[in-house]
Amino acid sequence: MKAHEVLYRGYSRAVFTLASRILDDAAQAEEVLQDTSMEIIRNVAGFRADAAFGGWVKRIATNKALAHLRSAWHRKGRRFADDEAADPAMAGSVQSDVAIGVADQERLARALAVLTPTARAVVWLYDVEGFSHEEIAALMGKSVSFSKSRLARAHQKLRALLAEDEEVQPCMRQPNSC
């Protein structure tokens, strides 16, 4: 039990952040966190030390979050949600490795909330988590060109949304290697 607690405390924040950025819903992110924790506990004995443990955990969390996106319950719930409204509580919680101001983080969070869940997931996986297009395609069961085109369109939309607001320092890798 103590080992499970140590694992949970060590990775819960990263898993929750990843899931909430992909799903744009704190309750669903919490569900993914719980599912991921259970999956880790069940399969930790099968972990191969040829890769980083944190990477293994993030891959499980990503798969769980993407499965949530594909589920009928998620699609039905999103149909009733107001796609134009951004959750102000989530807007202030953006964590970034890029040293940008709080106001810029809020603008970026609002812009990300406007994207479709699939586009937001591709942006987050590629730009923040560092997944390759091949890895994203495999995770989503799509082609590499699907990942590249979704990322390019999402970057274009984000640039337009951010330019409308105010001048913001670029947050995405430049130039795009698509």
Contact predicate 95/17, CB 8 Å:
yes
Domains within the chain, CATH numbers bracketed: 1-81 (1.10.1740.10), 96-168 (1.10.10.10)
- Looking at residue 171, its pLDDT comes to 52
Q: DSSP per residue over 82-107, as a string?
A: -TT---HHHHTT---SS---HHHHHH
- Looking at residue 134, its pLDDT comes to 92
Helices 133-140 + 53-70 axis angle, to 10 = 50
- Looking at residue 101, its pLDDT comes to 57
- Looking at residue 155, its pLDDT comes to 92
What does the pLDDT profile of the chain (178 residues) look like in tens digits?
A: 888 888 888 999 999 998 988 888 888 999 999 999 999 988 888 888 777 888 888 889 988 888 887 764 544 444 444 443 444 444 333 343 334 455 666 777 888 888 888 898 899 888 888 888 998 988 888 899 999 999 999 999 988 888 876 544 455 555 454 4
Helices 53-70 + 2-23 axis angle, to 10 = 50
* 132 DSSP 8-state letter: -
- Looking at residue 165, its pLDDT comes to 62
Give the contacts of 172 (CB within 8 A, at least 6 positions apart). 123, 127, 155, 158
- Looking at residue 97, its pLDDT comes to 38
Say how far apart CA 59 and CA 97 lie, in whole Å: 19
Query: 117-158, pLDDT tens digit by residue?
Result: 889 889 988 888 888 899 898 888 889 999 999 999 999 998
